[in-house]
Amino acid sequence: MLRSQTWLALSLVATGASVVVAGCDWDTFDPRLGAPATGGGGGVDPSAGGSGGDSSDGGGATTGVGAGGPTDCGRISLVSDAFDGTELDDVKWDPETSSGSLAVAGGNIDLTLGTGSQYGYSRIRSEYFYDMRNASVAVEVVTITPSIDSSYTLSFFASADGDNNAELRLRGDQLQALRRRNGATDVVQSVTYSPTNHRWWRLRHDGNTVYYEFSSDGTNWGVLAEVDEKYVHDFSSTQVIMGSSWSGLPADMMARTASIGQLLGASNPGVPDTGGWCKAERLVDDFTGAQRKAQWKRSGGDSGSFAFQYEGEVFLGLDWGDDNAYYEYRSAQPVDLRDSAVSVEMLSPVDEPEGRTFLEVVSQGEDDEIELSVVAGIDDETMMETVELRCIWRDDGNVSEVCPNVAYDANAHRFFRLREASGSLYWEVSADGTTYAELGRLQQHPFALEDFWVRFGGSADTNVISPPPEVRFDHFNVAPGG
């Protein structure tokens, strides 16, 4: 098949209902975008404008987050935050406000709503997705000042995506338990709110049941409602969201501030929990099935690029006529790369000028990076096209190479691997995914690798490539035939 025919085929398949098509997943929230909920709309609704994850993602994974039974790593306990500094931890949390503000002080985070817009909101959502199976997440609602109002909503979510989540919500004077499954929302239970008795809110998963709970002291809990998980989600990959919003401006036209104390995640008694992220080798995928698995919920790209899976491969379609078209698969949570490795089969890289195809691990703040990539360009002296490997490490923004000017060989360099062992980093390639050769090594590297993101993908200036290239991957941390 010609490249132009391949691109047309990819574009047509990507418009089908059964194919994952997604641009950047991190849309701005606006309650006007959300459809009315069955049990009453409004609130800080992840389904309105995106959840921070892609609702097209599947729930399964081979190992690691999203796999089988509960893992002992990447657990919801990692979301815990005492808010005891002077600034929000913007590595852990993504703050979002409109006609509102938020501030951290005195062991609280204050979510303030102004009265400049009836669609105002103030919220935080976790940057990561956690394994919340047989675990809980709780929050302390210290005060709401000057008082609750019929137009005011305070929401607390354990969310798989915008269409599937469990929510505890204060709407007017009612504390409500809500379930959302495939976009349909129901109010399961509602009681009159008591600031004293309902100071603590908790969402807990146990077995196949989701419990909506409250407490006056954070120790003794009452059950507001319980729901079978099949009406919510499986909690293998869960994002935490806390926020306030208007469903119409208050009659007194006064701002409202919710002071939130501790937010605590915990595994249920007897459930193993290392308290850290999963080892990198536990993030595996052979890309079977049409849906992207839960472990890649942070994936995305520019608005015109897309990705889908077909016959055990990942296909990336880069936007046409874009000087920075890109799409990447990105892990839903960081991994621990110490004495571990990540690898991927690079079936079809961007091998034309201005193209780059990569496997990377990146620090949470993205100041540090370890990259093995195929980079295509034009030699300044000969004006000939070049396709070369790059072994790059970036420390606080300073870039160094360990394998410059290595010509790319599609057969010998079919598999890429980044590996750490005993304090040294290795950039490696393989023809068969079994026996690897070293391209470069960094002895006694400067990185703390217990919490790095993993991503792979492609980018190109598609203004100079016609038609845009096909980019294909397979076998992430999986040996062929494995």
| 374/21 Cα distance (integer angstroms) | 25
Residues 249 and 307 in one domain: no
Instruction: Please report the pLDDT score of residue 476 as a whole number.
Output: 97
Residues 260 and 306 in one domain: no
Residue 35 has pLDDT above 50, yes or no: no
The domain boundary residue, chosen from 213, 248, 267: 267
Residues 151 and 57 in one domain: yes
Instruction: Please report the pLDDT score of residue 350 as a whole number.
Output: 87
| 48/233 Cα distance (integer angstroms) | 18
Residues 317 and 448 in one domain: yes
**120 vs 468, which has greater pLDDT?**
120
Instruction: Please report the pLDDT score of residue 321 as a whole number.
Output: 86
Q: Percent of the chain, pLDDT > 90? A: 71
Residue 266 confidence class, pLDDT cut points 50, 70, 90: very high
Instruction: Please report the pLDDT score of residue 14 as a whole number.
Output: 45
Instruction: Please report the pLDDT score of residue 31 as a whole number.
Output: 27
* CATH code, 132: 2.60.120.200
**How is residue 345 written in tokens?**
């089969």
Mind listing the pLDDT tens digit for each residue in 142-163? 999 999 999 999 999 999 999 9
- The Cβ-side half-sphere exposure at 247, using a 13 Å CA radius, reads 21
Instruction: Please report the pLDDT score of residue 406 as a whole number.
Output: 92
Instruction: Please report the pLDDT score of residue 62 as a whole number.
Output: 38
Mind listing the pLDDT tens digit for each residue in 411-443? 999 999 999 999 999 999 999 999 999 999 999
Residues 239 and 304 in one domain: no
Mind listing the pLDDT tens digit for each residue in 51-88? 333 434 554 433 444 445 678 999 999 999 999 999 99
Residues 263 and 376 in one domain: no
Residue 325 has pLDDT above 50, yes or no: yes
Residues 65 and 189 in one domain: yes
Instruction: Please report the pLDDT score of residue 482 as a whole number.
Output: 62
Domain ranges, residue 454? 298-474
Mean pLDDT, rounded, of the chain: 86
On whether the CB atoms of residues 305 and 326 are closer than 8 A, the answer is yes
β-pairing verdict for 256-267 and 424-430: unpaired
Please choose, from the candidates 240, 46, 238, the residue with its C-alpha nearest in 3D space to the C-alpha of residue 160: 238
Mean pLDDT (whole number) for 224-235: 95
Instruction: Please report the pLDDT score of residue 28 as a whole number.
Output: 27
Instruction: Please report the pLDDT score of residue 383 as a whole number.
Output: 65
Residues 52 and 180 in one domain: yes
Residues 167 and 253 in one domain: yes
Domain count, the chain: 2
Q: Percent of the chain, pLDDT > 70? A: 84
Peptide bond into 467 cis (omega under 30): yes
Please choose, from the candidates 341, 340, 359, 362, the residue with its C-alpha nearest in 3D space to the C-alpha of residue 349: 359
Name residue 342's beta-bridge partners.
418
Residues 413 and 367 in one domain: yes
Residue 331 lies inside a defined structural domain of this protein: yes
Name residue 314's beta-bridge partners.
309, 473
On whether the CB atoms of residues 47 and 162 are closer than 8 A, the answer is yes
Instruction: Please report the pLDDT score of residue 69 as a whole number.
Output: 66
On whether the CB atoms of residues 468 and 460 are closer than 8 A, the answer is yes
Mind listing the pLDDT tens digit for each residue in 351-382? 777 789 999 999 987 889 999 999 987 766 76
Residue 100 lies inside a defined structural domain of this protein: yes
Residue 276 lies inside a defined structural domain of this protein: no
The domain boundary residue, chosen from 251, 267, 283: 267
Residues 354 and 261 in one domain: no
Residue 17 lies inside a defined structural domain of this protein: no
Residue 260 lies inside a defined structural domain of this protein: yes
Residues ≥6 apart with Cβ < 8 Å to 328: 299, 300, 301, 455, 456, 457, 458
Residue 191 lies inside a defined structural domain of this protein: yes
Residue 293 lies inside a defined structural domain of this protein: no
Residue 449 lies inside a defined structural domain of this protein: yes
Please choose, from the candidates 433, 471, 206, the residue with its C-alpha nearest in 3D space to the C-alpha of residue 348: 471
Residues 346 and 469 in one domain: yes
